[in-house]
């Protein structure tokens, strides 16, 4: 059972089939099929059920998956350690970040880091909080920026400065620029939030709902909107209001297209975490990038 076989197994699982995995790994479909067949023969058990046109993990496959991910991640660690042995100003760092955290703060980090380490490359991708953790856990990202603490045993969390949230509304909204005594005055408004997914406490809608629950309000309805840009355009159009980070709407407020509704005693924040894989290798470039992130955030 070698690392290439395990990487092939992970790719077939992630992509749900042979053809997509072959494209990802730049191998022929027969080569991928042979690799999986040999691995199943070696382990003396099937790893996938071929059903409904896709590949679904068997019980044995589900048992193998976390060990395979850790093994492949450890190999990436070793490769990065050797590649970055000589210098801290060259090499690369892979970073996964929740899309709504990819704002002006992160832009400043990227600009300052590139000036300080012009030979280094930052490989950036955006994802949900849970997906950020999964990328870090698999070793596909060295550093992750997400909301809320990841409580799994294989992730280290570093708490950064919480993200301040404000109630954003269109500049022509009847309450634009007003101060209210209670958040209860907004319970009947059309609220926008990122779509909720089952059993996902890190979803933005769940986070927004939790802020209301802490004030004894349990019946707020949300309109699901799947991107930050769409949130802002709908708020500008006075279609609804949303709980957004101050930094995310700074430009719109400067242009006068989005305003804020203040509420006494309502100062919500989102916990922001920098995560790394426990006992994972962080090369000089990754550690230096972490320093820039922690100073800015």
Task: Name the residue among 189, 193, 190 with its Cα closest to residue 224.
Answer: 193
Q: What is the pTM of this model?
A: 0.66
Domain ranges of the chain: 3-81, 84-161+272-296, 163-266
The 10s digit of each residue's pLDDT in 159-183 is: 999 988 999 999 999 999 999 998 8
d(CA 167, CA 249): 11
Per-residue CA distances from 61 to 9, 65, 69, 118 (Å): 9, 6, 12, 43
User: What's the pLDDT at 280?
Assistant: 86
The number of residues making up the chain comes to 297
Q: How confident is the model at residue 15 (pLDDT cuts 50, 70, 90)?
A: confident
Summarize the confidence of residues 115-138 as an average pLDDT.
Answer: 91
The 10s digit of each residue's pLDDT in 79-91 is: 776 666 555 556 7
d(CA 189, CA 203): 20
Q: What percent of the chain has pLDDT over 90?
A: 38
Specify whether the CB–CB gap between 274 and 297 falls below 8 A.
yes
Q: What is the pairing mode between strands 48-51 and 222-224?
A: unpaired
Tokens 């992750």 -> residue: 144
**CATH numeric code, 84-161+272-296:** 3.40.190.10
Q: Which CATH class is domain 3-81?
A: mainly alpha
The 10s digit of each residue's pLDDT in 215-259 is: 777 777 789 888 889 999 999 999 999 989 888 898 999 999 999
Token pair in block for residue 107? 């832009």
Instruction: Please determine whether the domains at 84-161+272-296 and 163-266 fall in the same fold group of CATH.
Output: yes
Per-residue CA distances from 119 to 79, 93, 111, 126, 211 (Å): 18, 12, 13, 23, 44
How does DSSP classify residue 121?
E
Q: At what angle do helices 18-25 and 3-15 cross, to 10 degrees?
A: 130
**CATH numeric code, 163-266:** 3.40.190.10
- Provide CB contacts within 8 A for 267, sequence distance 6+: 164
Question: Is residue 203 over pLDDT 80?
Answer: no
d(CA 238, CA 257): 10
């Amino acid at each position: 059972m070698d690392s290439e076989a395990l990487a092939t197994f992970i790719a077939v699982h992630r992509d749900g089939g042979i053809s997509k995995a072959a494209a990802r790994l730049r191998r022929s479909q027969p080569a991928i099929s042979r690799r999986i067949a040999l691995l199943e023969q070696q382990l003396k058990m099937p790893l996938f059920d071929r059903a409904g046109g896709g590949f679904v993990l068997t019980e044995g496959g589900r048992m193998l998956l976390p060990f395979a991910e850790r093994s492949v991640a450890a190999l990436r660690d070793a490769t990065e350690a050797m590649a970055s042995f000589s210098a801290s100003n060259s090499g690369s760092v892979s970073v996964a970040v929740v899309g709504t955290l990819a704002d002006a703060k992160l832009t400043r980090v990227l600009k300052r880091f590139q000036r300080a380490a012009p030979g280094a490359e930052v490989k950036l991708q955006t994802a949900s909080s849970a997906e950020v953790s999964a990328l870090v856990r698999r070793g596909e990202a060295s550093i992750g920026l997400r909301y809320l603490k990841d409580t799994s045993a294989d992730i280290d969390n570093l708490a950064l400065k919480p993200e301040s949230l404000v109630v954003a509304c269109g500049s022509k909204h009847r309450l634009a620029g007003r101060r209210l005594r209670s958040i209860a005055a907004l319970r009947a408004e059309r609220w926008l939030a990122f779509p909720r997914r089952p059993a996902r406490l890190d979803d933005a809608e769940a986070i927004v709902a939790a802020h209301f629950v802490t004030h004894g309000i349990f019946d707020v309805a949300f309109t699901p909107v799947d991107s930050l840009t769409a949130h802002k355009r709908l708020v500008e159009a006075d279609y609804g209001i949303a709980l957004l980070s101050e930094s995310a709407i700074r430009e719109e407020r400067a242009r006068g297209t989005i305003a804020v509704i203040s509420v006494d005693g309502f100062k919500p924040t989102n916990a922001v975490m920098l995560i790394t894989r426990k006992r994972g290798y962080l090369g000089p470039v990754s550690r230096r990038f972490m320093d820039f992130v922690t100073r800015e955030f």
